[in-house]
Structure 1
Amino acid sequence: MWQSHPKYPFLLLLNRDEFHSRPTDPLAWWGGAETILGGRDGLCGGTWLAATKDGKVAFLTNFREVQDIPQPNTRGDLPLRFLQSNKSPQEFAEEVLKEAHLYNGFNLVLVDICTSTMVYVFNRP
């Protein structure tokens, strides 16, 4: 829920959208100076859901396809890169759109609680 509650500007319920056999690290603080809170992909090091101490949140779901592209970039890097950047959700979304063809299908939501900004980016119809 986005901006629907007077006390909580953003309420999120999300289940990890990945194969159960893929290794993961549980919720923990990590990153430089432990600024990112989230689970981690044990295979490629990215994340499907994480937040920063300064109010940025990013989450990702996969778009299931019959055929994946050969040697794609890892989708879990997208939320991580946003959280590590100084870019607004809109600026980062514009950057992602330029390289979206390098990834298998995804849905990506980028949030900045402090500026009340949320952007949804996807690379499949």
Structure 2
Amino acid sequence: MCILFIALNQHPEYPLIVCANRDEFHHRPTEPAHLWQPDNELLAGKDLEAGGTWLGINKAGAFSALTNLRDPMRQKSNMRSRGELVIKALQQKPLTMSWLREHSDNYNPFNLIFGHGDELYCFNSAVNEFTRLTSGFHSISNGALDDIWPKMARGTLALEKLITESTQPDIDELITIMRDETRADDLELPQTGIGVEWERLLSSIFIRHEEYGTRSTSIILQDKRGKSRFAEVRYDGKGRNLGRQVFTVEPTQP
């Protein structure tokens, strides 16, 4: 996952609204979002290379997503797959803060967002710290929570404008926000150690590149009763639509 925008307690009917893009190499095998066997409790896409996922919800109404922290100097090849953390966060026996602090060194640097209802947390493994998300608009990409990267600021403002002006959030309009290919000016680019050409490519919300780019957009609308609508659109290396799915998940007792 590369970027998420979250509106928490900003709409009278939908206290949790999530818009997210997953950026990845196009050759990496992936299954679209689906209910995972054997118990159908987890709704998420699946990374077929490592077996994890980047974003999902469960039938109790919990949500989790993960972004990689962009720090080339701290990347190691023998680490566990970060995608398993989202699964752990959505299991019936969820992650504890102490477990994350104790085991985060087994993974390359990451942000993990997880929680239930309006009690969402972001764990940043680089600083080994938790932040509870306050009511408002938040953005998470490949740096710290609510960093002011140009694409993070751009998407946050677009989401805020749409939510405050809409009585009923429209999934197509939310997807349009996530299809924004506007790149930042060079003077506004973050310095994350990957070189200016890659910084330019990755500076837009939607990344179009034949080898690496936005593979999917996910939209989650969770209402006051915990009922969730989950939409996923998938793309190829030219940014073309490969398919769309919309799920409705009724809440069960955790």
- Aligned pair 1:60/2:60, yes or no? no
> Taking structure 1 as the reference length, what is the TM-score of the superposition?
0.87
SS in 1 for 2:89: helix
Distance in 2, Cα, partners of 1:32 & 1:83: 15
1:26 is aligned to 32
Q: Which structure would you say has the larger RCO, counting Cα contacts within 8 Å and 6 or more residues apart?
A: 2
Runs of 4+ in structure 1 displaced over 2 angstroms?
17-21, 91-94
- Segments of 5+ residues of structure 2 without an aligned counterpart are 1-6, 128-254
Distance in 1, Cα, partners of 2:80 & 2:35: 24
Q: How does 1:26-105 map to 2 (within 5 A)?
A: 26-67=32-73, 68-87=75-94, 92-105=96-109
Query: What whole-Å deviation, never above 9, does each CA across 1:6-36 have from its counterpart, x for those lacking one?
Result: 1101100011133332211101111431111
For the aligned residue pairs, the C-alpha RMSD in angstroms reads 1.5
Distance in 1, Cα, partners of 2:105 & 2:76: 9
Distance in 2, Cα, partners of 1:62 & 1:17: 10
Structure number with higher strand proportion: 2
Larger radius of gyration: 2
SS in 1 for 2:108: coil
- Segments of 5+ residues of structure 1 without an aligned counterpart are none
Q: Percent identity?
A: 32
